[in-house]
Amino acid sequence: MNLKRLSLRTRIFIGMILLVVLASVLIAAVAIYQYKEETKVYHIQRLEQKEKAILSHINFVLKETSYPVTTEEIPLIFKDEIYEIAEVHSLQLNLYDLDGTLLKTSRATLTLDTIQVCIRPEILNELSNKVSDQGEHKYIEKSVVNGETFQSSYSYITDRKSKPLAILNLPYLENDEFLSKELNEFLLRLLYAYSFVLLMAVVIAFVLSKYITKSLKTISDKIKTTRLEKSNQRIEIGDTSEEISILVNSYNSMIDELRESAVKLATSEREQAWREMAKQVAHEIKNPLTPMRLTVQNFQRKFDPADENIHKKVDEYSKTLIQQIDTMSSIASAFSSFAKMPAQQNETLNVVKVVKLALEIFNEDCIVFSSDSEEIIAKFDRTQLIRVVTNLVKNGIQAIPEDREPKIIVTVKSLKNDVVITVSDNGSGVSEENKLKVFEPKFTTKTSGMGLGLAMVKNIVEMQKGTISFVSETDKGTTFKVIIPKL
């Protein structure tokens, strides 16, 4: 049965019936579970109470006996008293010596298949090693014989100096007949009650579903005739429920404001388009400004008039600034044609040298560069390659927490017809829910920035017919891999 094809009236009817049925099943399941839990606790507490009372009775017998209170005298001390204790407390008991040999039992006859003549060694070990919260040595063994559950409790009988004399064993049968009878009676009464509720639910669901769908059908017929390009009629319905009235009033208000909303929507879309373009312009101009600022700061820090290579360094700094200025000029020209990225100006270049040049604008000492060759030739736009590297390095630096020593590893490798550039950091990593959003425009986890950097890097790489990917481990770091063809 396909519920999606059923009418709303039928779905309301089925839903209410299912709700009642599920509620009754849930309550029954909770009742059975509660019964089992209470039964378990009941038997544990009852055995503990019996054991406590019997130990108290035994201690009284030991206190009043005229025999020496020793393990050897236990059979004489409890020669007759053990039957009295068993009768008073309505529970069989067995007394063993400390080695586990049976000394005395309240059973009139000794049946080897039901009474252990010797306690098993594993029980003796558990008894001697297991201490309760009250500091008492105690062990309870649970077993099922012929479908009946038994609990067998073992504990020490001690003299006045708390020295163990013997082991008390209480076989206890878990008799659930009374509790099971109560549960069955409760479930039967619950069945009667829910049968009546189910009958009432059928009647109410039928009437309610018919009432609701009658008004909705009228509204549905009106909505089907609604068109944007023509004058739409308002819905007029007599007395109905508050919810239906709200729905009708909302529809009528929508019809009255449809034309005005269309105008506002068009205006809003134009404004949003200009805002998006303004964000892109700001981000693209900010990218070259950052390396320019870093270059000037680096020049100020390292400038030494006495350095014999000063002219060479000045020339390199100047080239870097000119490149970034050219980039800004390209961006401005491109956005004048509706925010297009600068066109690709591919040239044959040494990727290793360009990547080194891109890294020189950073003052951080944490950046480590390596390459499997001093020269890897490829055709690429120099400015765009610098932008890819600087964006990835800057993104890696910003991903490292303040309380951690930063480390950025940049590598360039030659792989057949491709060049592979990797940028690794030891930052916080990318969470699983954010991995699919990393390259989306305007997505960012930082408190600043507009989240366009990685999206633009991906765009640059793909325009070069390359690929970009990453692997990340939470709180360990992220590695971005850029693969671009050499030609």
Residues whose CB falls within 8 Å of the CB of residue 383, separated by 6 or more in sequence, listed in order? 323, 326, 327, 330, 342, 345
Residue whose pair of structure tokens reads 């050499």 in the numeric block: 486
User: Are 374 and 393 a contacting pair, CB within 8 Å?
Assistant: no
Structure tokens that stand for 252 in this block: 């009528």
Pick the closest to residue 38 from 185, 154, 178 (CA basis).
178
As a whole number of angstroms, the distance between CA 43 and CA 47 comes to 6
DSSP string covering 116-173: -SB--HHHHHHHHH-B-TTS-BEEEEEEEETTEEEEEEEEEEE-TT--EEEEEEEEEE
Pick the closest to residue 285 from 337, 360, 335 (CA basis).
335
pTM of structure? 0.36
Structure tokens that stand for 307 in this block: 């350095």
Residue whose pair of structure tokens reads 């407390």 in the numeric block: 89
User: Are 399 and 427 a contacting pair, CB within 8 Å?
Assistant: yes
Helix (H) or strand (E) holding 40: helix 8-64
Buried b / exposed e along 297-318 (16+ C-beta atoms within 10 A):
ebbeeeeeeeeeeeeeeeeebe
User: Are 61 and 92 a contacting pair, CB within 8 Å?
Assistant: no
Helix (H) or strand (E) holding 371: strand 367-371
Helix (H) or strand (E) holding 33: helix 8-64
Structure tokens that stand for 278 in this block: 């303004």
As a whole number of angstroms, the distance between CA 390 and CA 412 comes to 14
- Domains of the chain, CATH where assigned: 3-180 (3.30.450.20), 283-485 (3.30.565.10)
Instruction: Region of 162 please: left (phi>0), alpha (psi -120 to 50) or beta.
Output: left
pLDDT score, position 449: 43
Residues whose CB falls within 8 Å of the CB of residue 2, separated by 6 or more in sequence, listed in order? none
pLDDT score, position 124: 85
As a whole number of angstroms, the distance between CA 397 and CA 487 comes to 31
pLDDT score, position 2: 56
CA quadruple 289, 294, 299, 301: dihedral sign: positive
189: burial class by Cβ within 10 Å (0-12, 13-18, 19+)? exposed
Pick the closest to residue 399 from 438, 426, 423, 437 (CA basis).
426
End-to-end CA distance of the chain: give it in Å, rounded: 59
Torsions phi, psi for 478 (to 5 deg): -135, 145
pLDDT score, position 350: 93
pLDDT score, position 437: 81
Q: What is the mean pLDDT of each run of 10 residues along the chain (487 residues)?
A: 64 79 83 78 81 88 86 87 87 88 78 65 83 72 76 86 87 72 77 82 78 70 63 65 71 72 61 64 70 74 73 78 75 51 75 91 86 90 89 89 90 92 92 82 54 77 90 91 90
